[in-house]
Structure 1
Amino acid sequence: MPWQTPILSSSSSLRSLLNATKSLPQIAQIHQHLAACGLYADPSVATKLLQLYADAGDLPSALRLFAVIPSPSVFAWTPILALLSRSSLHRRCLSSYRSMRFAAVAPDGYVFPLVLRSAASAHGQSRHLAAFHAEAFKFAAEAVLSVTSALIDAYSKAGDLTSARRAFDVAGARDLLSWNCIIAAHASVGLLKEALALLDFMISDGCDPDLVTWNTLMDGYCRAGRFAEARAILHQLARPNEISWTTVIVGYARCGNHEASLEIFSRMMHAGSVLPDLDTLSCAAASCRHVADVSAGRAVHAYGVKTNDVGAFYGSAGAALLLLYAGGSRTAAARSVFELMDPTDVVTWNAVVQGLALCGRRLAALEHFRAMMSRGIGWNHATLSNLLPLCDLKHGEEVHAHVIKHGNGGCIVTEMNALIDMYARSGCIRAARRVFSSMDGKDVATWNTMISGFGSHGLGEQAIELVTRMVQLGFKPNAMTLTSALMACAQCGLVDEGIELFGTMPREFRFSPGEEHYACAVDMLARAGQFTEAGRLAGKMPTARVWGAMLASCRTHQNVEFGRMAFEELVRLEPGNPGNYVTMSNIYARADRWNDAVRVRGMMEREELMKKPSGHSWIEVA
């Protein structure tokens, strides 16, 4: 039997009915009944009905009702502001607040948290936080605990930690929420020492930390790469929730340690006290993809489908699963996942394009891009990032033309960088240079890509000139800039220029040269026949990668003596790498030193390096 509106015989029965109503059909039926009876002319009744529409998320109905309320009070404005803020309509929320103030309605402690959240979230609006703070002080709302917490949170999201701390310090009273907000403000930007000091003050102030506090600190530790401390907190929690587990799982995955991420996920599953949510499952699926563990990925897949809404699960984890299966040559499974994902979502198509690339099906990936375009699905920078590395010059020009035609005024920087790389890789350095020169907004990656392109085409002098221009225009070279420039110098024999860059760039721009830079410099010196200098430089960064570059150069130049020196270092550093033995044996063989070649082969046999180890699975997922 359909729900019926009862006869409202008194104001008490009306309030009781409004308090019990939740669903939109009921709200609309009551609204109609009140309008017919003329009962919602009372502003308090209309305001309560407005609150019901806002709580149900019906913005159009809420706005229509609000428009007919004469002289709405702050109690009528509050649900409108709350719904706009909750719906991420932050600019509209701020505009409505200004309309409220223009109508001379005084805000209260319930209004300011909503406005502050929107000011911190709306692009370009955080500069108005100080003005809202001043208004909160003017209307004596600053002393309200919820407003204090909102101020701390808003300032920290806007990157103004000094103002966040000032708002906290001047607060007349503090509760658990305000303590958690100020601790999170410091932990989220890596100020863990300060966050831990605040934790001590919090405890001494008589406020006991809760699970939110510990989760916040774990997140801070993970962002700082201090996973031992994060895991220690996780182990000490009597009842960690899904956020506790997910914080550490995602933290490991974010820094690329997917094995550890899956280990924590496996522990969570075996503990059985908390069920993983969609974010956790999506992260686990992505980690399975990165470690190429199809078996564990299938377990995550089965569990996710079993315990979640299928559409929601594939919307969250589908892309990672598709790439996992494609990378493992499980094309049928990858296609099944694709068919269950949202066909109107660009993420779905990006995943299938990248998945086909992993399977080596370049032309099929390009065909799917065309199908995506024919269906009117908008591409994004990830689409081109996945697609352009697959393109030869013909297909790359086709994609470029499509971008110019449908790109709403041009590409973003990452897409232009991908185009530069595509043209340079395809042998068309002039087209790459044209794209580079046409860009209004360049980033450091743009300069690095063009420098690398010049180097790959033997245009070392142009690459060095570009480094100089980059610095003159105020761009700060980074580690990748140095790598690209050193490779250009190595390929073009510009040893003096390369050594000067190697010595001055890290010092001037304050980054430490890594093993990839030493490997490039060693290769550059060895290519020029300067093996003594190359060996001396390799000794300053004695890693397998650097000595491996030395050995490879010795093979190219057939330098037996320095090759033997590099090989001995590599045997000490990575005795289980058969490639080093093969390279040294070949160097000896080409020099007609057959006894030495046989001796090196014998070393491989003694180390049992000629047998390929079998794969194994090491993770269980419940």
Structure 2
Amino acid sequence: MPHRDSVAWNAMITAYSQLGFRQESLFLFGRMRIAGAQPDHFTLTASLTACAGSSELLYGAKVHALVYVLGYQCHTAVNNSLIDMYGKCLSPTSADKVFEEMGVRNEVSWCSLLFAHVNCSQIDAANEVFNAMPERVTVAWNIMIAGCARHGEVQSCLRLFKEMRASSCEPDQWTLSSLMNSCSESLELQYGFVVHACIIKSGWELAAESKNSILTFYAKLCCQDDAVKMVESFEMLTPVTWNAIIDAYMKSGDTEKALLAFQRVPEKNIISWTTIISGLARYGQGEQALIYFVDMLRNSIRPDDLSLGAVLHACSCLAALGHGKMIHGCVITYGFQACVYVGNGLINMYAKCGDITGSGHAFDEISGKDLVSWNAMLFGLGMHSRANEAFELLEEMVACGAKPDRVTFIGLLMTCSHLGLLEKGQALFKLMETKYGLGREIDHLSCMIDMLGRGGHLLEAKELVKENPGTSTLEALLGVCAAHEEAEIGIISGESLKNLEPMKEMGYVMLSNLYCASGKWKEAEMVRKAMAVNGVKKEPGCSWVEEVVAKVKSSQADGKVECLATPPSSWLSWS
């Protein structure tokens, strides 16, 4: 074009933004400024939308400054775009400030501010905004219900839904899908059935959003038959539907069908790839998860925090340090090293791969550590017998304002158990209840039984099991009895465990070993026969060897050796 006026620039910037090419849209906005064309309110709203979609908070703040320079600070549409941008860039305080300075507000202003707080998980602040709204439109109700659903607060969602029905607002497919998602998050089967019935009664059962949420619900609660029926009922498959189908098969444990569905997806997005990678890692197919991650990169799909977290979990399961380091390279390349979720995955990966120093470096790089970060580092230190460092980290954690939870104490008690720190472990066992008000759960009790048994206090361990009977506590007691060759207590525990878990190999194997250790060969043979009759098989032992230049190999007790994956250096390259 010989002359590009504001209308031409606006058309291009808006088109790129709406098509999802946000960086290109912002690039055009920069070129427009260099060319000397004057931005108007259409230009500003389009560029702010691009900033919101790409989470460019710094760029958005610069555009906000330009709003004042150009005199558009009183323009309602521009202010609404600013609130939306700050909300999507996780800066609710800035959104509040823009809203307070607005002279004229409309429904979009209120809903944008409401979303800003919900998006940042500030439910209490969102409730204040919601209660102050002059008129609660359907979108506002949907935002609140979706926010509560994200946190699994099914009771709050149902209360809001009931209030919405009592008002003049009619629920739509978004309302009902959010309501169904709340049932998925809370794992409430009966509530899900009720909501499904509401969807059918309201006539929204054919809407794609409703069907996707119903499918996700049945898949997450492992209702395989209902999930399959939903899959068969789909006529037109959207990208969201394909992802829901893949997720449904993965959650039901049918990885083969999930992979077949994945291959049929016409346009695979980051969610499709992440669902496959995380599913494979979850079902112990770490090497396949790595292969699909590589394929994702080769298809020019930029990884996000969830996909990186999933592939790091795969590396942890494989104990493949070389592969994990290469994924760490991806993390740095794509700028996720400060992301809490990815950082937590790195801590766990390095710890399980034997590199506790790497765990420490990953821990230090996380700027806003959450409770999972502290717990992951505590577990890592315990795993590597660094008890003193673990106890120092606990003190630092408390000093930073993080409150230890049940998982924290499981890690600490395991550390004490493995290192024979009985007195320290007993003190922590009491401290979790007296100081932090945490109830003693089965995992804590199992750690204590293991700790007492390792220290030779088998009678005390037996009494603790007697007070807290269950599969986990019996397994812990049986384990220490086997280690100390304490046949009398061990045989009683083994028989009880075998009766409680007749299809689990541990009770049979350890009981048989105890009978052998005490010279009761006939009883040992009877246990082995009972194991064969019940169809219980012992899994062969498996060890991992990672060759620096060649491959990761799995060596099993039956002599079988499998090559699992080629080294990542050959397939990870950066552009």
What is the TM-score normalised by the length of structure 2? 0.72
Please, which runs of 5 or more residues in structure 1 have no aligned partner? 351-377, 472-476, 549-572, 578-612
* Identity fraction in percent: 18
C-alpha contact (below 8 Å) 2:115/2:143 kept by paired residues: yes
Distance 2:480 2:252 in 1: 34
Question: Which of 177, 181, 202 matches 2:213?
Answer: 181
CA distance in structure 2 between the aligned counterparts of 1:321 and 1:418, rounded to whole angstroms: 14
Question: Following the alignment from structure 2 to structure 1, what is the Cα–Cα distance between the partners of residues 305 and 336?
Answer: 11
SS where residue 439 of structure 1 aligns? helix
The structure 2 residue matched to 1:95, chosen from 128, 137, 142, is: 128
Match of 1:109 among 138, 147, 150: 138
Indicate how the Cα distance of structure 1 residues 212 and 26 shifts in structure 2: closer, same or farther if over 3 A, else same. Answer: closer
Distance of aligned partners of 1:163 and 1:248 in 2 relative to their CA distance in 1, 3 Å threshold? same
Aligned length: 498
Instruction: State how far apart, in whole Å, the 1-side matches of 2:310 and 2:390 are.
Output: 36
Letter of the structure 2 residue corresponding to residue 210 of structure 1: T
State the AA in 2 paired with 1:502.
Answer: G
Counterpart in 1 of 2:23?
none
Residue 148 of structure 2 corresponds to 119
2:521 and 2:389 map into 1 onto residues whose CA distance is 41
Instruction: Name the residue aligned to 1:445.
Output: 443
The CA deviation at 1:424 is: 3.8
Cα drift, residue 481 of structure 1: 2.4
Letter in 1 for 2:571: V
Within 2, Cα distance between the matches of 1:341 and 1:491?
38
Give the drift of 1:93.
Answer: 0.9
Equivalent residues of 2:111, 2:140 under 8 A apart: yes
For 2:460, the equivalent position in structure 1 comes to 462
Q: CA deviation at 1:452?
A: 1.2
1:432 aligns with 2:425: yes
Q: Mean Cα displacement is larger for which, 279-288 or 222-231?
A: 279-288
Counterpart code for 2:80: Q
TM-fit CA distance, 1:426: 3.7
Give the corresponding residue for 1:280: 307
Query: Residues 324-343 of structure 1: matches in 2 within 5 Å?
Result: 327=353, 338=361, 342=365
Structure-1 separation of matches of 2:265 and 2:183: 30
Moved more, 112-121 or 152-161: 152-161
Of 387, 395, 399, which residue of structure 2 is paired with 1:402?
395
Q: Does 1:85 align with 2:85?
A: no
Aligned Cα RMSD in Å? 4.5
SS in 1 for 2:197: helix
- Report the residue type matching 1:284 in the other structure: V
TM-score with structure 1 setting the length: 0.67
Q: 1:50 to 1:413 in 2, by over 3 A?
A: same
1:227 CA displacement: 0.8
Could you tell me how far 1:282 is from its partner in structure 2?
Answer: 4.6
* CA distance, structure 2, for counterparts of residue 547 and residue 154 of structure 1: 41
Contact 1:294 1:325 in 2 (8 A): no
Q: Which amino acid aligns with 1:106?
A: E
Distance 2:283 2:539 in 1: 24
Partner residue, 1:523:
513
Q: C-alpha deviations, 1:67-113, integer Å up to 9, x for none?
A: 3557955343222112222233222112211222xxxx231122111
The residue aligned with 1:381 is 375
Cα 1:398/1:51, change in 2 over 3 Å: closer
8 Å CA contact retained: 1:78, 1:111: yes
Give the match for residue 162 of structure 1.
193
Instruction: Name 1:192's counterpart in structure 2.
Output: 224
* CA displacement, residues 97-155 of structure 1 (integer Å, 9 cap, x when unaligned): 1222xxxx2311221111112222357x5422222112322334334333333333334
- Map 1:446-525 to 2 at 5 A: 446-471=444-469, 477-478=470-471, 480-490=472-482, 495-505=487-497, 507=499, 511-525=501-515
- Does the 8 Å CA contact 2:505/2:538 hold for their aligned counterparts? yes
| Counterpart-to-counterpart distance in 2, 1:464 and 1:494 | 12
After superposition, what is the alpha-carbon deviation per residue over 1:460-491, rounded to whole angstroms, capped at 9, x for unaligned?
222221112114xxxxx23x322212134445
For residues 500-546 of structure 1, give each alpha carbon's deviation from its aligned partner in whole angstroms, at most 9, with x where no partner exists.
433344645xx445222222111221222212211221233368869
Question: Matches of 2:401 and 2:93 in 1, distance apart?
Answer: 30
What is the aligned partner in structure 2 of residue 251 from structure 1?
279
1:419 aligns with 2:452: no
SS, match of residue 256 in structure 1: coil
Distance apart, 1:447 and its partner CA: 0.7
Structure 1 residues 193, 82: closer, same or farther in 2, change over 3 A? same
Q: 1:288 to 1:536 in 2, by over 3 A?
A: same
The residue that corresponds to 2:571 in the other structure is 621
Alignment CA distance shift 1:434-1:75 (3 Å): closer
Contact 1:518 1:546 in 2 (8 A): no
SS in 2 for 1:464: helix
CA distance in 2, matches of 1:172, 1:303: 46
- For 2:310, the aligned partner's letter is C
Looking at structure 2, the residues matched to 397 and 297 of structure 1 have their Cα atoms a distance apart, in angstroms, of 24
The partner residue of 1:291 within 314, 318, 332 is 318
Residue 525 of structure 2: aligned partner: 535
The equivalent of 2:55 in structure 1 is none
Three-state SS of the structure 2 residue aligned to 1:265 is helix
1:576 to 535, 552, 559: 559
Distance 2:398 2:173 in 1: 53
Instruction: Please say if residues 249 and 283 of structure 1, whose CA atoms lie closer than 8 Å, have aligned partners that are also in contact.
Output: yes
2:79 pairs with one of 25, 28, 50 = 50
Does the C-alpha gap of structure 1 residues 379 and 73 become closer, same or farther in structure 2, counting only changes over 3 Å?
A: closer
Q: In 2 relative to 1, CA 260–410 (structure 1 residues): closer, same or farther, beyond 3 Å? A: closer
Q: Considering only CA atoms, is the larger Rg found in Structure 1 or Structure 2? A: 1
1:411 partner amino acid = P
Range that drifts further, 235-244 or 17-26: 17-26
Does the 8 A contact of 2:41 with 2:72 survive in 1? no
Distance 1:446 1:218 in 2: 36
Rounded to whole Å, the distance in 2 between the matches of 1:485 and 1:171 is 55
Per-residue CA distance 1:309-333 (angstroms, 9 max, x = gap): 47579983796499569948899xx
Q: Which runs of 5+ in 2 are unaligned?
A: 1-29, 49-59, 434-438, 542-555
Distance 1:544-1:456 versus aligned 2 partners, 3 A rule: farther
**Aligned letter for 2:307?**
T
Residue of structure 1 equivalent to 2:239: 211
Which residue of 290, 308, 316 maps to 2:342? 316
Structure 1's 297 and 75: CA in aligned 2 closer, same or farther, altered over 3 A? closer
